[in-house]
Amino acid sequence: MRDLIDLEHYPLDQPDSPAWLKLVEDCKARLDADGLFNLPGFVRKAAIPDAVNALTPILAENAFVHARRHNIYFNKSIENLPDTHPALQEFETSNRTICADQMGQAAVIQLYEWPPFATFLAAVMERPNLFPMADPLARVNVMGYSEGQALNWHFDRSEFTTTLLLQAPEAGGDFEYDKDLRTDHDPNYEGVADLLEGRRSSTLMHLTPGTLNIFRGKNTAHRVTPIEGEIDRIIAVFSYFDRPGVVFSEQERVGFYGRTS
């Protein structure tokens, strides 16, 4: 794993060491303050070309093209909210997705299955344990975004999202978010409408390849801006849960990947 991860700066292989504990505390502090943290250069620059080259043929030939119209909630309607409310306006999201069962022993699979990675994430998220998914499709996904494609405004279903940027586009493809736009007790529909109609400011963040990002997105609205240019944005998404054996339903698999197995 040392050839893949910069373990000098990010000593995930030394749990409970002073350097590991400092890294965890720094990440927790940034997560509390900003709702996210980034570890630039988490994957070594020299390892990125091989990691990308192992995935690009699969993205080109065997990916599922996931195109859909949706509102920020991924629900057609919200109780007590008129269908004409501007918070329910729809957007287009489109990308290509490949699943863990298509990647063999690609670098992102090796990282996902490396126990110290889950141990580190659990410590940062203040969980006793995190477990890899049992789902052969959903455990690791890699998304490719070409020119004009984007991941549009939404809230996450899960509390945390863990991603690794492998390739950045020539332009666009930036991460844009509005921290704590809603709470578990206040949906703030008017604030959501203000964001979607341009009356509310947001934060735009540009990530470099090799950056690990941990993001708390359940109540923070976010999107990836449209891709510009001939270079695709390629990003890996890692899914862990606080209990073992989690799998998607067949309906979820078809919705996300176009197949059940």
Domains in the chain, ordered, with CATH? 18-257 (2.60.120.620)
DSSP state of 48: H
Torsion, CA 12, CA 23, CA 177, CA 45, rounded to 10: -50
Q: Which of 134, 200, 124 is nearest to 160 (CA)?
A: 124
From first to last of the 261 residues of the chain, give the pLDDT tens digit.
999 999 999 999 999 999 999 999 999 999 999 999 999 999 999 999 999 999 999 999 999 999 999 999 999 899 989 999 999 999 999 999 999 999 999 999 999 999 999 999 999 999 999 999 999 999 999 999 999 999 999 999 889 999 999 999 999 999 999 999 999 999 999 999 999 999 999 999 999 999 999 999 999 999 999 999 999 999 999 999 999 999 999 999 999 999 999
| Other CB atoms within 10 Å distance of the CB of residue 152 | 20
Distance of CA 40 to the CA centre of its chain: 15
Provide the pLDDT for residue 50: 97
Q: At what angle do helices 115-124 and 18-34 cross, to 10 degrees?
A: 50
The 3-state DSSP composition of the chain as helix, strand, coil percent (nearest 5) reads: 25, 30, 45
The first and second tokens of residue 247, run together, are 């799998």
Provide the pLDDT for residue 97: 98
Residues 250 and 259 sit within 8 Å (Cβ to Cβ): no
